[in-house]
Chain A
Amino acid sequence: MSVVAALGGPEQAGTEAASPQAAGAGRGARRLLAPGVLYLVVFFVLPVGVLLATSFYARVPGGELGEYTPALRWQNYPEALAQFAPQLARSFGFAAVATVAALLVGYPMAYVIAVRARGRPGLQGLLVVLVVAPFFTSFILRTVAWKQILADQGEVVGALRWLHVLPPDGRLSAAPAAVVIGLTYSFLPFMVLPLFASLERLDPRLLEAGTDLYATPLTTFRTVTLPLSAPGVVAGTLLTFIPAVGDYVNSSLLGNNTTTTMIGQVIDQRFFRTVDYPTAAVLSVVLMVAILTLVSLYVRRAGTEELV
């Protein structure tokens, strides 16, 4: 399974080979596996099944708010999609832009930590701690901080207006840009860490071999460094894109309620405000299937270049 290999890291390929305890380990392995597998079946597989079933439920005629009956009402799908296609498309669009932005911002960071700081464990350790530092403070508070940073009367907007990047009445708050910046920011560490891991494994002698064979530093980067860090790029983009598509903290805290609404917000509202379980379930199922399809296409395409 290629998705497994992409997310599970490189150790998979290496250890796949030979295990001397192969025979006779079966029963012991089953005992180790059983609790975790059972847990995932009961609290992941079954709930997803219930979600799928819910997506076909029908409203009880004349029933109370939130009263539904098991049914096979496949019309739920076209109805929900017709109504929420813009939000769905926007979620994928925002997430894609944020992922590319995170890659552009994160690659130099990972490169500096892994390659330039190589051999200086103190500096390397410090920089890695800085990358994970956001994990130590509240996600929501950091998102709120962006609201303050991008405020209409704040320094950032003021500077951009002065530079004529923004028109005099232009704003970043409550706009798509703010949501994309927030998404980029939120998942940047998830981009940097796998990139760092794959760049760190890069043998510096390969870079020397590149320059020895007449490649300029830029060509060495293009022909050696970048292809060899491809597993990190794949893992990093997946770890950024997947949570970004479903996120609604950024869009609800940094956006407005019209041009920035993402699918997560809709699902949340359908569940808890309008108590419309089938629509929420339809959108969840569609989101999950769409992501799985995209991810497996992406990994397969990246995989054809035979990542090492």
Chain B
Amino acid sequence: MTTVGTRAAAVEPGAAPADGGGTALELRSVTKRFGDVVAVDELSLAVPSGTFFALLGPSGCGKTTTLRMVAGLERPSAGTVCLAGRDVTGAPAHRRPVNTVFQSYALFPHLSVLENVAFGLRRRRARDVRARALEALELVELAHLAQRRPSQLSGGQQQRVALARAVVNRPALLLLDEPLGALDLRLRRQMQVELKAIQAEVGITFVHVTHDQEEAMTMADTVAVMNHGRIEQLGGPADLYEHPRTAFVANFLGQSNLVRGTVVETLDGGRTLGVDVGGARVRVPAHRSVPGARHVLVGVRPEKVRLVAAGDDARGGDNELGPGTVVDTSFAGVSTQYQVRVEGLGTFGVFAQNLGGGSVHAPGSVVRLAWDVPHTFALDGHQEVGAGTLGPGDEP
């Protein structure tokens, strides 16, 4: 990250459509079936050129299959794949202007680092193969290890070689299949920042597949949340977080408190809905609510909720639920995380920032929950409250 100058030098102008405007990738009603199993179900999406796009979802949601169909390693059962406006559905992998950073890196063990990076250039009979491969290695700051074998590198270094091997070809689209999955947490955080920087620098469109919501949100311009072979919601990270449209997205991206409620009135000339939640009245901004539904899931993010001690008064105009009992208090550095059980409604998570001076509520304390009305959202009520949360057997 220190030598931005050399990196800029490594970038060839005009090799990839970095200037935005066009569509790098378009999937139209793509379906993939394995026997009776539908892995990808009529999926359509468009990725603008030069952006960092993330496909986010739990394992088995079809995101890797989607990526492999784009790479040409898997053929769709139906639908079309277009790269830069050209239909490549029937083209084999080696004729597509697409490169992949594989999950396990798939570096050739019998070739040196340099020859791994040069592999694609040699196949296309490019000129200045050695120089360009070295440049790409400089981009990932590994030029000094060019003569080593992949097995002599650490996991993080192998990851960079895999990236260089893909980037050097200036593909129209670069696919990353859980590329950071094998790295430890600290290295992963570091590589997230670096990948993002390299993407911005070379201007190639990146499509990144991951099950790590934090990874997707920190890196991508646009995130598509996938579940059961379909896209649940697509948008910018902040937009997805603030305006989840399904219980799955609300729970999979960060955490949410969801409770069932019934819309009973409209207020403020239709700009606010009044929702009955277990006998209490909660207000929801109409633009943050699913239109026309009577049964809804009322949601609020844990960090938006304040705990109000039994004796204190909440601010007027806030939504309020309770009283409830604190059942768990855990100190997590920047915040204190509470679990509060409210009779008849369930358990709520509350993240209180540690600003100093605030009182800590010990387990057993009786509190009320309060939050600003604009932070409330309402989803269609015909969904599981727990959709998208982790079961005990799921990966973190």
Contacts and interface: CB of A to CB of B under 8 A. Distances in A.
Interface string A282-308: 000000000000000000000000111
A215 B119 contact: yes
A209 B102 contact: yes
Contacts of B149: 306, 308
Contacts of A306: 110, 149
B110 A208 contact: no
Interface string A206-228: 10111111111101100110011
Contact of A211 (B73, B104, B169): B73
Contact of B123 (A206, A214, A308): A214
B360 to A, nearest CB: 48
A205 interface: yes
A213 B120 contact: yes
A216 to B, nearest CB: 6
Interface residues of A, number: 23
Contacts of A155: none
A268 interface: no
Nearest to A228: B110
Interface string B53-95: 0000000000000000001110000000000000000001111
B102 A205 contact: yes
Contact of A212 (B93, B104, B109): B93
A203 B110 contact: no
B137 to A, nearest CB: 16
Given A211-B72, A211-B94, A228 B119 contact: no
A215 B123 contact: yes
A96 to B, nearest CB: 26
Contact of A215 (B71, B72, B94, B98): B94
B108 A212 contact: no
Contact of A209 (B72, B106, B124, B151): B106
Most buried by B among A213, A214, A216, A224: A213
A209 B123 contact: no
A206 B94 contact: no
Given A211-B92, A228-B110, A205 B120 contact: no
A214 B92 CA distance: 9
Interface in B159-175: 165, 169
Interface string B252-274: 00000000000000000000000
Given A205-B104, A219-B123, A223-B119, A212 B99 contact: yes
A210 B110 CA distance: 13
A219 B92 CA distance: 14
A209 B94 CA distance: 9
Contacts of B104: 203, 205
A224 B108 contact: yes
Interface string B27-56: 000000000000000000000000000000
Given A219-B123, A223-B119, A212 B110 contact: no
B222 interface: no
Given A214-B94, A214-B124, A223-B119, A209 B100 contact: yes
A201 to B, nearest CB: 10
Interface string A246-261: 0000000000000000
Contact of A214 (B106, B109, B169): B169
A214 B124 CA distance: 7
A13 B294 CA distance: 68
A146 B102 CA distance: 50
How many chain B residues sit at the interface, stated as a range, is: 20 to 34
A220 B93 CA distance: 12
Contacts of B119: 210, 213, 215, 223
A205 to B, nearest CB: 4
Nearest to A224: B108
Nearest to B177: A205
Contact of A203 (B100, B106, B124, B165): B106
Given A227-B110, A228-B110, A306-B110, A212 B71 contact: yes
A220 B108 CA distance: 11
Nearest to B118: A213
Interface string A83-115: 000000000000000000000000000000000
Contacts of B106: 203, 205-206, 208-209
B203 to A, nearest CB: 21
A220 B119 CA distance: 10
A208 B102 CA distance: 9
Contacts of B165: 213
A229 to B, nearest CB: 10
A308 B92 contact: no
Contacts of A220: 94
Contacts of B72: 211-212
Contacts of B109: 206, 228, 308
B177 to A, nearest CB: 10
Contact of B100 (A212, A223, A228, A230): A212
A206 B92 contact: no
A216 B71 CA distance: 14
Interface in B96-152: 98-100, 102, 104, 106-110, 119-120, 123-124, 149, 151
A203 B95 CA distance: 22
B92 A209 contact: no
A211 B93 contact: yes
**Which among B72, B93, B149, B169 has the highest number of chain A CB atoms within 10 Å?**
B93
A210 B100 CA distance: 10
Contacts of B73: 208, 211-212
Contacts of B94: 210-217, 219-220
Given A210-B108, A212-B102, A214-B169, 13 more contacts: A205-B102, A205-B104, A206-B108, A208-B71, A208-B73, A210-B94, A212-B72, A212-B99, A213-B94, A217-B94, A223-B119, A228-B108, A306-B149
14 contacts: A205-B102, A206-B106, A208-B71, A208-B102, A212-B73, A212-B93, A212-B99, A212-B102, A212-B120, A213-B169, A217-B94, A219-B94, A228-B110, A308-B110
A-B pairs, 8 with minimum CB distance: A213-B120, A211-B93, A209-B106, A214-B123, A205-B106, A308-B109, A211-B94, A227-B110
Interface of B: 71-73, 92-95, 98-100, 102, 104, 106-110, 119-120, 123-124, 149, 151, 165, 169
